[in-house]
Amino acid sequence: MADSTRTGSRMNIANILNSDGQPHRVLNILAIFTLVVGLVSFVLGLVVRNAHTGAAAIVTATVTGLVACLVGLYVQMISATREQRIVIVTGIIAGFVGLALGLAKGGFTP
């Protein structure tokens, strides 16, 4: 039981996403990018749906949702670990919801 706990090891997001022990810096950056942009699109989509916003917010929600979906689908094809795929799919789903809410309000031409 002496070696059951690690002393001095640091856990960060890169270690969590690299469960295979190999560094995947570009894939991790793209996975996190997909998640962040998808969440931004999701939040903007909810704001557009529930408040009277201008055309800029509608177009931004639509564009960020489209970017999250397209980048996420590409990164999903080249991802290396299960943890990366979980983050990517979460970002794709959030981006899709933001895209759909933006398109419901007029999309690219509100």
Of 16, 31, 19, nearest to 78 by C-alpha is 31
Residue 38 above 90 pLDDT? yes
Residue 4 above 70 pLDDT? no
Residue 49 above 60 pLDDT? yes
Using a pLDDT cut of 70, give the percent of the chain over it. 86
Does this model's pTM top 0.75? yes
Spatial contact of 92 and 42, defined as CB atoms under 8 Å apart: no
Residue 7 above 60 pLDDT? no
Of 7, 102, 91, nearest to 57 by C-alpha is 102
Query: Nearest 5°: CA angle at 63, between 24 and 73?
Result: 35
Give pLDDT tens digits for 60-95: 999 999 999 999 999 999 999 999 999 999 999 999
Main-chain phi, psi angles of 18, to 5 degrees: -100, 65
How is residue 6 annotated by DSSP? -
Q: Torsion-angle region of residue 4: left (phi > 0), alpha (psi -120 to 50) or beta?
A: alpha
